[in-house]
């Protein structure tokens, strides 16, 4: 809807501009989900190839 969400005093994430760009370019998208799964972060930090 374009209405701001009440963040209860917290700052929006650094990725907010990236998420907003998705909504601008893709009006068919209703949700953007950004996650940092624990094991995915470990793999990313290890710099090893994913088997």
Ordered by start, the domain boundaries in the chain are: 1-51
Q: What is the DSSP string of 1-48?
A: --PPP--TTPPPPTTHHHHHHHHHH-TT---------HHHHHHHHHTP
Q: What is the mean pLDDT of residues 13-18?
A: 86
Percent above pLDDT 70 for the chain: 92
Q: What is the mean pLDDT of residues 5-20?
A: 85
pTM of the model: 0.52
Q: Give the list of residues 6+ apart from residue 32 with CB closer than 8 angstroms, or none.
A: 19, 22, 23
Least confident of 17-21, 27-31, 34-38: 34-38
């Amino acid at each position: 809807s374009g209405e701001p969400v009440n963040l209860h005093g917290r700052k929006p994430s650094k990725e907010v501009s990236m998420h907003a760009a998705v909504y601008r370019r893709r009006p068919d998208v209703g949700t953007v989900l950004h996650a940092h799964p624990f094991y995915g972060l470990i793999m990313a930090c290890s710099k090893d190839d994913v088997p």
